[in-house]
A and B are shown apart, each in its own frame.
Chain A
Amino acid sequence: MLSMILKRMLAAAPSLVGVIIVTFLLTRALPGDPAAYFAGPAATQEAIEQIRVKLGLDKPLYLQFIRYVADLAHGDLGDSLTTGQPVAQELKSRLPASAELTLLGLIVSMAIAVPLGILAATRPNSLIDHCCRVIATAGVSLPVFFTGLLLVYVFYYLLGWAPAPLGRLDVFFSPPPQITGFYLIDSALAGDGELFLASLKQLILPALTLGIFALAPIARMTRASMLAALSSDFVRTARASGLTPFTVTVTYAFRNAMLPVVTTLGMVFSFLLGANVLVEKVFAWPGIGSFAVEALIASDFAPLQGFVLTMAVMYVALNLLIDILYGVIDPRVRIEA
């Protein structure tokens, strides 16, 4: 098991190297003079020169790259122009907000998509099967920012059930003492039920928005792999042995059908992390996505570069985790490794 994990980690290394090279090249591809870009529009000629030397932009490209990697190794992502704060610190303080939202979005979409896919597969060509197909196609067709706005209109403006889409907590509340940075967990740990409910209320619409977007690939894959599992020999044997339909579906077919679903989670995370940026903008969510959007509007490149790098590194790590999880679920993978 340990050797398999090590092997998978080594296999992820080239992706990581690729990510670092691309984010480095993106900075150098900036139109015109990167030093002028980093110095901001109001900078004088001396200030630009100063920044050029400070960033090492007067040196050859390979030296710049070595320096960039060395800075990264120290956790240095440069400073934000607008706030003057180190980018790494800002990203770190905003990351829990994004992570909480994304994970809850994933849970919501799994909770809807997996049962839907199973029901559709056990009753092919029934009403629920057609529903599954329509919902799945509609889910990917809905622009995530549009779904978010529709939910806000219906649940905030029309029904008044949801709070205003303005961040993680209503202004009357103060955040719980920070332990994990996840408000739901922290408020539960602090034993504050009212605060837990308040942060759940803020979370539910953005998480639902993300969930609807990620629904389609999970539902489709669950349906397809359940269909394959249900028509296999071992399920026929289990049925012939007189096991109840429930045991056959859940214990025999479902466990085997989950493997391809776990594999699609990689793609689902690519969707979720990208959609996260748009959802954060719609709900004024103080995560790293809205940080990047603010930086974009201010033409502040260092935070954006830090954001792209953080997202890519997280995505590589998530894919690694999925790979390892795959080994845990499927013993055959372990034997091969």
Chain B
Amino acid sequence: MTNVALTSEPRVSESGLIAALRHARYVLRDNAVTGFAFALFLLIVLAAVLGPAIVPHDPLASDTAAALKPPSWGHWFGTDQLGRDVLSRVVVATRLDFLIALTSVALVFLLGGLAGVAAGFFGGWTDRVVGRIADTIMAFPLFVLAMGIVAALGNTVQNIVLATAIVNFPLYARVARAESNILRNAGFVHAARLCGNGELRILLAQVLPNIMPIMVVQMSLTMGYAILNAAGLSFIGLGVRPPTPEWGIMVAEGAAFMVSGEWWIAFFPGAALMLAVFCFNLLGDGLRDIVDPRRRT
């Protein structure tokens, strides 16, 4: 934590953008894998933002005459059972999968992060209530709980986001709790209190910003899991509905053709899914090594 503060603070005098780029170059220099993951991340963001504008075909347009064609120059990833272009569908799906994961991670950061910070800072009954909720969620196999939540609350994309956020709650609450529990006796917290700041203000203005580096690492690590979880749920028929392009559903649709040799329908969305998760896991590991080298395994 202090590392990051030391290397980024003194350069404030330079213009912001140059300083940020220099810092990024410094960080990425000894870490080629993290650099690769970062490039992959930019590619994913690009596909998510531009997706529908850059694809060669309409992802929903079917053409039964060209159904089940293997990869070729016209269709790089082949066509599916309805003759839709697999490449276009894979690229367009990026936005939805990325958004599901991003919103669920943002949501769990708000819910779990704040609950955990409060639990560690105040202790007492706040700590007990948050701890009990986290323990109860952890008593379930997480994917099974997510299934139950989506089935009970209704089969919609919003509920997939919510379920993914709920099953990740204990992770965030625990990390935030451990960090803020250490910080609550830090010198600057006492100083802020002596200056007459209220407890809530200290929590939000002093403690929370100081646990952000660890929380950002946590977010990057759980992004991968969130994508996997959402894709798994749509693979078994929850949430996103066909014909909407989404990686999990596309793999599910292609599954039946795998046994008869038409591998490309399920392979490309599955590979995209794998790359995205791989990218977030590597990025999370790399960020963690920078922020907190002790946890490296």
Contact = CB atoms under 8 A, between A and B. Distances in A.
Do A and B assemble together?
yes
Interface string A146-184: 100110110011000000110000000000000000000
B153 interface: yes
A31 B154 contact: yes
B143 to A, nearest CB: 3
B232 A278 contact: yes
B115 interface: no
A143 B273 contact: yes
Interface in A297-320: 297, 301, 304-305, 307-308, 311-312, 315-316
B297 interface: yes
A144 B232 contact: yes
Given A137-B278, A143-B231, A296-B236, A315 B140 contact: yes
B139 A316 contact: yes
B224 A141 contact: yes
Nearest to A138: B278
B144 A308 contact: yes
A95 interface: no
Interface string B232-271: 1001111000000000100110110011110100110011
Contact of A274 (B135, B141, B277): B141
Contacts of B139: 15-16, 18-19, 312, 315-316
Contacts of A282: 255
A228 to B, nearest CB: 10
Given A18-B132, A270-B142, A278-B236, A141 B281 contact: yes
A280 to B, nearest CB: 10
Interface residues of A, number: 58
Interface string B259-294: 111010011001101100110011001000000000
Given A141-B281, A143-B273, A293-B237, A277 B251 contact: no
B259 A141 contact: no
Interface of B: 132, 135-136, 139-145, 147-149, 151-154, 224, 228, 231-232, 235-238, 248, 251-252, 254-255, 258-261, 263, 266-267, 270-271, 273-274, 277-278, 281-282, 285, 297
5 interchain residue pairs of minimum CB distance: A274-B143, A18-B136, A146-B270, A273-B141, A141-B278
